[in-house]
Chain A
Amino acid sequence: MAKHHISMTLNGEPTEFLCSTRQTLLDVLRDELNLTGSKEGCASGDCGACSVMVDDRLVCACLVLGAECDGKTVESIEGMADGENLHPLQQKFLEEAALQCGICTPGVLVAAKALLERNNNPTETEVRYWLAGNLCRCTGYDKIVRAVMSTAADMRENAK
């Protein structure tokens, strides 16, 4: 069967690609569009390293088919910084060293951003449950959770 011709909005830009039915959105991002920020950890939706937003909903890109994305709006980690200006979460993760090997970091950042856009005053429990689908193989969860809480506090302060 011929490949599917898909048009979507990716990080604000109209984007077109060809894919076979078997290719996931993660395969498309990494192999067709050369955006390798989203990582493949498990390819079964357990680890969250491929977390992206599709139509404002946090999902695992490994569990979405590329062919499903026609007309969709997709945001990946590559769209998080505004040019040279890091997103406050990215800045905070650097300042507080909330990462070790870095494989889980893009997914954690995308997921944390989705949380803070819904709730800029989450409890630690809410942060931990929200990020329960983002596995850190270095087990550096405490620093990640603290960085998210601390970014949320900054965002609340800046909103005043």
Chain B
Amino acid sequence: MESIQFQKPETVDEAVKLLQGADGDARILAGGTDLLVQLRAHMIDPSVIVDIKSIDETRELKKNADGSYTIGAAVAGAEAHEREDITADWPGVIEAWDLIGSTQIQGRASLGGNLCNASPAGDSVPAMVAAGMTANIAGPDGRRTLPVEEVTAGPGKTNLKKGEFIVSFNLPAKPSNGGDAYLRLIPRTEMDIAVVGCGVALTLDDSGTVTSAKVSLGAVAATVLVVEDAAKAIIGSKLEPEAMSALDAACQAACKPIDDKRGTVEYRTKVAGVLARRAVSIAAERAGKN
């Protein structure tokens, strides 16, 4: 068995150099909840593991002066869930993150890992997309920012180039009269992989009319989906039955799921519409309370 190097850089530049200069496959270690399983199952054979947790930027979770948040790529779900400010502002993002795994997994698993593992069913991803989060990426050519929905390229694949890694995320300031929600369907009540996931963020005006919306679906295509027609279906409405039906239909039309043991194409498609209706209702209720 090949021996694997283990590196623990303390700066972003040092990490980029290690990733870029790696002879063979370089893997990033944050929470390790996917990496160690893949290593053990011989699904990957890295030449170097780069533990990014000694880089301060990957571990910070701060609210900025403009109300937005900077969330380090290696922050664990439990650490975010314990923060009252972010949980109050973006309950959908936090509830999606909080659905991933057991207490033990929550203590380690990171947003950066959930995104870059690039499972089509990653629970945090539709909620991050709906909330308009962006990824701050460092690489050999410097820094760049990508919307979360543009990070994944397919199952297990990202659009990050050699030497690049996600340092942190930006979560926008919560809009006034804004609300978000994430719902997923699993066959049991806890610790399972999404059959369908749906993230919604929207804003209302004082009359209760939807003024903006973003609807995102997970586990129904090779990558997370942004369903623009679903957002259009409810913007300008007060979520009357017609608007909700149009939302449901738009979500169903956007689905390109696979048949597997968790659900058939027909089931996933129908559930996507139902979850979107429910998530929109929850997000609107939260928005109305602001």
Which residues does A use to contact B, with CB under 8 Å? 1, 4, 20-22, 24, 43-45, 48, 51, 57-60, 62-65, 67-68, 70, 111, 114-115, 129-134
Task: Return the chain B residue nearest A3 by Cβ.
Answer: B3
Task: Give the chain A neighbours of B32 by CB distance below 8 A.
Answer: 63-65, 68
| Pairwise interchain contact A1-B4, C-beta atoms closer than 8 A | yes
Task: Give the chain B neighbours of A129 by CB distance below 8 A.
Answer: 103, 190
What per-residue 1/0 map shows which CB atoms of B263-288 lie under 8 Å from chain A?
Answer: 00000000000000000000000000
Of B6, B37, B76, B107, the contact of A67 (CB 8 Å cutoff): B6
Task: Give the chain A neighbours of B76 by CB distance below 8 A.
Answer: 57
Task: Return the chain A residue nearest B107 by Cβ.
Answer: A57
Please list the 8 inter-chain residue pairs (A to B) with the smallest Cβ-Cβ separation, ordered nearest first.
A133-B102, A21-B4, A57-B107, A21-B6, A1-B3, A67-B6, A60-B104, A133-B104
Other A-B pairs beyond A63-B36, A111-B103, 18, CB < 8 Å: A45-B105, A60-B104, A60-B108, A62-B36, A63-B31, A63-B32, A63-B108, A64-B32, A64-B36, A65-B6, A65-B32, A65-B51, A68-B8, A68-B53, A111-B104, A129-B190, A131-B103, A132-B190
| Pairwise interchain contact B108-A132, C-beta atoms closer than 8 A | no
| Pairwise interchain contact B107-A59, C-beta atoms closer than 8 A | yes
B49 contacts the other chain (Cβ, under 8 Å)? yes
| Pairwise interchain contact B102-A48, C-beta atoms closer than 8 A | yes
Question: With A44-B40, A133-B102 given, is the CB distance from A63 to B49 under 8 Å?
Answer: no
Nearest-Cβ distance from residue A104 to partner chain B, whole angstroms: 13
Question: With A57-B76, A59-B104, A65-B32 given, is the CB distance from A132 to B191 under 8 Å?
Answer: yes
A to B CB contacts below 8 Å, 5 in the list: A22-B39, A64-B32, A68-B29, A70-B8, A132-B191
List B residues 1-32 near A (Cβ within 8 Å). 1, 3-6, 8, 29, 31-32
| Pairwise interchain contact A132-B103, C-beta atoms closer than 8 A | yes
Task: Give the chain B neighbours of A133 by CB distance below 8 A.
Answer: 101-105, 191
Task: Return the chain B residue nearest A57 by Cβ.
Answer: B107
Q: How far is the CA of A1 from the CA of B5 in the complex (A)?
A: 7
Question: With A129-B190, A132-B103 given, is the CB distance from A45 to B33 under 8 Å?
Answer: yes
Question: With A1-B4, A22-B4, A22-B39 given, is the CB distance from A65 to B102 under 8 Å?
Answer: no
| Pairwise interchain contact B104-A58, C-beta atoms closer than 8 A | yes
Task: Give the chain A neighbours of B160 by CB distance below 8 A.
Answer: none
Task: Give the chain B neighbours of A64 by CB distance below 8 A.
Answer: 32, 36, 108
